[in-house]
């Protein structure tokens, strides 16, 4: 197998492993709040929104140390151990206890930071400036199949049900735990590339998936990785991309947690309201898969640049927000277990709600594939700190969004995303226009 084929194989295995893990985790996130409100146990007093706020809050803080962890143990072991914690979090729902639920939320926040930093390093090491766009799209499309399979099961299993029984819950979460463990084991199939992109990447992340550590001590490498992360935070490019990344955190919270809860709370959808949560996730996944696959092909030759894709993403999202505003009751995100009988500006339409799910997924793929691509392009020689900062900003904004989702009406949540999305798009344009000059002069981390 040639070096290029081996790298593409690694990207495919990486994507498939993440697909299995996030089939379990994202399905868990989509139904967590609905399951929790249906728990009969009076001993359980957890909140799905609060759990997600904890996860993303810890996630954001842990990104400060995740490059050091990856530098010490390498990306393959980092992803495997993180996968174990993901599986443990899902298993908590088999027999939920409040203390276990929130404790697992803390640990998975740490694991997520390490997982995504290692993923970014693995993606960059198996790519070059000509393949980073294609590989980002391939990885993203495979990852987003997770939304399709998990939510298809939820749709079929919960169709016609207005209450989730204890047996239903246990069956779902035992299956999801096993699926997550399968994805975790797949990380061991990733092979060592015959050659890395650059000596700098090799030195910064101790990559090459199984290579012996250099003579430089592990602790020194960890400290160096932390220092590079801090220095990178102050660069013009990262500060501008942080606005775009902040938007992806807000809309991630909305489509992965809030929107499904809104659909499940609308009583006028009838007996299908719970199964529609699964169908919504399926169409979010279809949008993500089509977007990731198509934009990966578009980026293969890199003739059109990244700005047109991001422009499409923001337009698609603005259309989705407008339609959701008209279709969904304002109090849907914070409705009680009885749901809401309120009406927005039209009779709630199941078809329109599901179409908006597709638009949310398509728009999200536009932003995330291009952010992965531009980070891999700008920081090919030192990717771990760049991807750690990307996830730091994204996760802290997701945590903030999960927090205010407990209190804000739908219209205000949509308005926040519109404002941040607009400025995030402008900031991405600025970085994309300056990217060739940045790479030409070298990644010297020049601050503003």
End-to-end CA distance of the chain: 45
The pLDDT assigned to 145 comes to 82
CB atoms within 10 A of CB 157: 16
DSSP state of 188: G
Is residue 424 a contact partner of residue 366, using CB atoms and an 8 Å limit? no
Backbone phi, psi, residue 235, to 5°: -80, 150
Sequence-ordered list of residues with C-beta below 8 angstroms from that of 21, at least 6 positions apart, any chain: 83, 86, 146, 179, 180, 183, 184
The pLDDT assigned to 237 comes to 82
**List of domains in the chain:** 1-191 (1.20.1250.20), 225-442 (1.20.1250.20)
Is residue 295 a contact partner of residue 366, using CB atoms and an 8 Å limit? yes
pLDDT in tens, the chain (448 residues): 677 788 888 899 999 999 999 888 877 766 666 666 666 455 777 777 778 778 888 888 888 788 888 888 888 899 999 999 999 999 988 888 888 889 999 999 999 989 988 998 888 888 877 777 778 778 877 887 887 777 777 777 766 666 666 777 788 889 889 999 999 999 999 887 765 444 444 444 444 444 444 545 656 766 666 677 677 777 788 888 889 999 999 998 898 878 888 888 787 777 666 678 778 888 988 888 888 777 666 655 556 678 888 999 999 999 999 999 998 888 888 776 666 777 878 888 888 999 999 999 999 988 988 888 888 778 776 666 777 788 888 888 888 888 888 788 889 999 999 999 999 999 999 988 877 676 555 554 443 3
The pLDDT assigned to 153 comes to 75
Q: Residue 340 pairs with which residues in a beta bridge?
A: 266
CB atoms within 10 A of CB 307: 15
DSSP state of 273: T
Whole-angstrom Cα distance, residue 242 to residue 419? 15
Does the pTM surpass 0.75? The reply is no
Whole-angstrom Cα distance, residue 388 to residue 88? 23
Alpha carbon 300 to chain centroid distance?
23
Cα diameter, the chain: 68
């Amino acid at each position: 197998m040639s070096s290029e084929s081996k790298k593409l194989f690694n990207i495919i295995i990486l994507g498939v492993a993440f697909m299995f893990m996030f089939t379990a985790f994202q399905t868990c996130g989509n139904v967590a709040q609905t399951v929790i409100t249906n728990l009969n146990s009076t001993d359980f007093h957890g909140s799905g929104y609060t759990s997600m706020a904890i996860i993303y809050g810890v996630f954001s803080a842990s990104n400060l140390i995740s490059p050091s962890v990856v530098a010490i143990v390498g990306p393959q072991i980092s992803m495997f151990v993180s996968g174990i914690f993901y599986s443990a979090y899902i298993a908590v729902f088999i027999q939920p206890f409040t203390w276990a639920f929130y404790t697992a939320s803390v640990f998975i926040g740490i694991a997520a930071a390490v997982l995504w930093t290692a993923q970014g390093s693995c993606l960059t090491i198996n790519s070059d400036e000509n393949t980073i766009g294609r590989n980002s799209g391939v990885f993203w499309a495979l990852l987003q199949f997770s939304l399709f399979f998990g939510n298809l099961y939820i749709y079929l299993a919960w169709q016609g049900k207005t209450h989730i029984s204890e047996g239903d819950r246990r069956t779902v979460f035992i299956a999801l735990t096993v699926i997550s463990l399968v994805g975790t084991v797949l990380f061991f199939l990733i092979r060592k590339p015959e050659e890395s992109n650059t000596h700098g990447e090799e030195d910064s992340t101790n990559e090459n998936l199984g290579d012996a550590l250099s003579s430089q001590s592990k602790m020194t490498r960890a400290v160096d990785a932390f220092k590079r992360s801090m220095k990178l935070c102050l660069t013009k490019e990262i500060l501008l991309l942080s606005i775009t990344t902040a938007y992806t955190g807000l809309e991630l919270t909305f489509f992965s947690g809030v929107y499904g809860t809104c659909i499940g709370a609308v009583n006028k959808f009838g007996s299908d309201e719970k199964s529609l949560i699964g169908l919504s996730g399926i169409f979010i996944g279809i949008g993500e898969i089509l977007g990731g696959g198509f934009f990966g092909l578009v980026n293969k030759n890199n003739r059109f640049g990244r700005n047109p894709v991001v422009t499409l993403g923001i337009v698609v999202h603005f259309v989705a927000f407008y339609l959701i505003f008209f279709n969904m009751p304002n109090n849907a995100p914070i409705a009680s277990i009885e749901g809401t009988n309120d009406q927005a500006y039209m009779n709630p339409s199941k078809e329109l709600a599901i179409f908006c799910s597709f638009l949310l997924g398509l728009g999200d793929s536009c932003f995330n594939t291009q952010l992965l691509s531009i980070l891999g392009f700008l920081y090919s020689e030192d990717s771990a700190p760049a991807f750690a900062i990307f996830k730091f900003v994204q996760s802290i904004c997701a945590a903030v969004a999960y927090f205010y989702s407990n209190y804000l009406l739908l219209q205000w949540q949509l308005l926040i995303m519109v404002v941040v999305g607009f400025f995030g798009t402008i900031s991405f344009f600025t970085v994309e226009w300056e990217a060739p000059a940045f790479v030409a002069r070298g990644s010297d981390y020049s601050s503003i």
